[in-house]
Every structure is written in structure tokens, then in C-alpha cells.
């Protein structure tokens, strides 16, 4: 079968699951809202921290800031953003995976019950969040770039960062459904995900390639609409109201497609987890069009 037909089959199966269970969208929407709230609170706290630093007078002199207070505030804001933003994604991901696996088995699920299930896994989720954030910070440093106190980009190794990034993505691809269904800590869930991926790497990469480009239409829509407005002379200075409405519509369209894309990706990961652990393919993903990417293997 051609890759185009296979891609359509994967998207159709994931979309069919979502159509039957539209409440799955709630978890991705909540993730977006909470992430935005955390970023906004962090920005406000950072702004308040800057206001605490006294302005210099015309001669460049002024009272020195309370170094310890400003330092503690900066560290607190940094830790808040660092941990909070990395915690909400796996938390709502585990809740979504809990509901999705129930939906794939044609069993009833509830949004509240799935969130409570994620609460019971909060220790493992938090441990994984720390691991994920730490690896992300290491990869960012390895890529190189401007850092605080440096005008020039720091030296890095972008190729090594890309290779390690792919390795980390591979190891963590099934962490969320593992945390949702198995009583494991963050480190143990990472090991379990890695073991499952050794069996299902082909299916994972096929799904990633197919579902990874779903957001492209949203990006093209948002950028294309704004570019078109600028070309016809509608700019923020010339017609601020019309431009603002168009920009808001583009953002809403992008966010809506991003919520759907994130949910579809989790649906596929959960289907892959069921396949890897139980040796069966969930009903929406069955059919001759997808037979060539599913090959039942024994559970590790």
C-alpha cells in the first residue's frame, strides 16, 4: 500500500476514535489553558521582580538592589516556570491516556474520574517531569545559543543534540500510557517505555510522521491570513480593529487544530501501547489498510 493511503488510514482511525469520544478533547484544552495561565503568572512575577530593582539616576547611580531578595525571587520564578510547565503536560497526558484506553476498549470514561486517576499517579508524573525538564535543559545547552551574561552564542554541538533528542523522544514515546495504566514511578515508567519501543519502533515512527504534520495546516492558515492582510494594506497601524480580529481568528484556529492534533497523537500512542502490551490492535485501527504496520509481538 502507498504511504499516502496508509497515512489516511492512520488519521481516519484516530479521527474515528475522537469522533466517537469527543470528550477526549477536554484534556488537551485544559492543558492549553493551564499552560497559558502558568506562563502568564510567570511573566507577571518576572515583571514584578524587575519593578523591585531601583532605577538608576541620570548620573548612572542609584541604590543597589537587595541582591539576596532579587536573587531568591529570580530563582523562585525560574523554578516555578521550569517545573510547572513540565508537570502539566504529562499530568493531563496521563488523564487523557486513561480516558483514551477506556474509549479504545469501548468502556465508559469520565473527565473527572480520569483526572482523579492522574492524581493517584502524581508522584511518578512529577518524577518524570523533573527528568524531562532536566534533559530538555541539557539538550538546549548542547545546541548552543545565547545565555545570560553572554553576548555571543555559546559553543554547542547541534548534531549531537539532535541525535540525543531523537533518542529521548524514542525512550519517552510511551511513558504517558505507561504511567496511566501501570503503577510505576517516573524512572521505572521510562524504562518500561524504552522496552516497549524496542518492539514497536516502526509503528511509532510511522505514526509520528503521519500525525506530526497535522499542525502544518494551522500554521499555514495563521501565517497565510496575516500575510494576506499585510499585502492588501491592512496593518495594525492602518486598521487596528480589523487586523486584531483577523489575528485573533488565526490564533483561535491554530489553537483549535493544535488541541485536535495533540489528542489524535495521544490516541495513536495509546493504541500502540495496547498493541505492545496485549498483542492486539484496537478496533478503530484494524483493517487491511493498516495490516502492514502492525505485527503482533510477544510482550517483553
pLDDT at 103: 94
Helices 240-278 and 25-51 cross at an angle (nearest 10°) of 120
**Predicted confidence (pLDDT) per residue in 140-163, tens digit:** 888 875 444 444 455 678 888 899
Of 270, 134, 125, which is closest to residue 185 (Cα–Cα)? 125
The rounded distance, in Å, linking the Cα atoms of 204 and 293 is 10
For the segment 110-118, the average pLDDT, to the nearest whole number, is 96
pLDDT at 209 over 70: no
- Dihedral pair phi/psi, residue 5, rounded to 5°: -65, -40
The rounded distance, in Å, linking the Cα atoms of 63 and 189 is 51
| Helix/strand/coil for 145 | strand
Higher-pLDDT residue of 187, 45: 187
pLDDT at 179: 96
Higher-pLDDT residue of 204, 137: 137
Mean pLDDT of the chain: 78
Give the burial string for 95-134 (b: 16+ CB within 10 Å, else e): bbbbbbbbbbeeeebeeeebbebbeebeebbbbbbebbbe
Higher-pLDDT residue of 80, 267: 267
Higher-pLDDT residue of 268, 72: 268
Of 129, 112, 139, 93, which is closest to residue 262 (Cα–Cα)? 93
pLDDT at 130 over 70: yes
**DSSP assignments along 2-60, one per residue:** -HHHHHHHHHHHHHHHHHH-GGGHHHHHHHHHHHHHHHHHHHHHHHHHHHTSPPP-TTS
- Dihedral pair phi/psi, residue 148, rounded to 5°: -60, 135
pLDDT at 129: 93
**Predicted confidence (pLDDT) per residue in 220-246, tens digit:** 766 676 677 667 666 666 677 777 777
Name the β-bridge partners of 154.
145
pLDDT at 219: 67
pLDDT at 137 over 80: yes
- Dihedral pair phi/psi, residue 295, rounded to 5°: -140, 110
pLDDT at 99: 97
pLDDT at 145: 53
pLDDT at 147: 44
pLDDT at 111: 95
Contact 65, 53 (CB under 8 A): yes
Grid coordinates belonging to 23:
470528550
Grid coordinates belonging to 31:
492543558
- Per-residue pLDDT band for 263 (boundaries 50, 70, 90) equals very high
Amino acid at each position: 500500500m502507498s504511504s499516502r493511503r496508509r497515512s489516511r488510514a492512520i488519521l481516519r482511525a484516530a479521527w474515528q476514535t475522537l469522533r466517537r469520544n469527543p470528550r477526549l478533547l477536554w484534556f488537551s484544552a485544559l492543558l492549553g489553558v493551564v499552560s497559558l495561565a502558568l506562563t502568564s503568572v510567570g511573566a507577571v512575577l518576572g515583571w514584578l521582580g524587575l519593578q523591585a530593582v531601583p532605577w538608576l539616576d541620570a548620573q548612572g547611580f542609584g541604590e543597589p538592589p537587595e541582591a539576596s531578595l532579587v536573587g531568591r525571587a529570580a530563582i523562585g520564578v525560574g523554578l516555578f516556570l521550569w517545573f510547572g510547565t513540565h508537570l502539566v503536560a504529562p499530568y493531563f497526558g496521563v488523564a487523557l491516556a486513561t480516558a483514551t484506553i477506556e474509549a479504545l476498549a469501548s468502556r465508559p470514561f469520565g473527565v473527572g474520574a480520569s483526572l482523579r486517576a492522574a492524581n493517584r499517579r502524581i508522584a511518578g508524573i512529577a518524577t518524570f517531569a523533573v527528568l524531562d525538564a532536566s534533559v530538555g535543559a541539557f539538550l538546549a545547552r548542547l545546541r548552543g545559543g545565547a545565555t545570560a551574561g553572554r553576548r555571543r552564542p555559546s559553543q554547542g554541538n547541534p548534531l549531537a543534540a539532535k541525535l540525543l533528542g531523537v533518542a529521548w523522544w524514542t525512550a519517552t514515546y510511551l511513558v504517558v500510557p505507561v504511567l496511566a495504566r501501570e503503577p510505576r514511578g517516573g524512572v521505572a515508567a521510562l524504562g518500561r517505555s524504552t522496552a516497549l519501543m524496542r518492539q514497536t519502533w516502526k509503528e511509532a515512527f510511522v505514526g509520528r510522521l503521519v500525525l506530526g504534520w497535522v499542525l502544518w495546516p494551522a500554521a499555514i492558515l495563521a501565517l497565510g491570513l496575516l500575510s494576506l492582510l499585510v499585502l492588501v494594506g491592512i496593518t495594525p497601524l492602518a486598521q487596528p480593529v480589523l487586523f486584531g480580529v483577523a489575528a485573533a481568528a488565526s490564533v483561535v484556529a491554530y489553537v483549535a487544530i493544535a488541541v485536535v492534533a495533540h489528542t489524535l497523537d495521544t490516541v495513536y500512542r495509546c493504541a500502540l501501547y495496547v498493541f505492545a502490551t496485549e498483542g492486539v490492535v484496537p478496533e478503530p485501527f484494524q483493517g487491511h489498510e493498516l495490516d502492514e504496520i502492525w505485527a503482533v509481538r510477544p510482550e517483553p
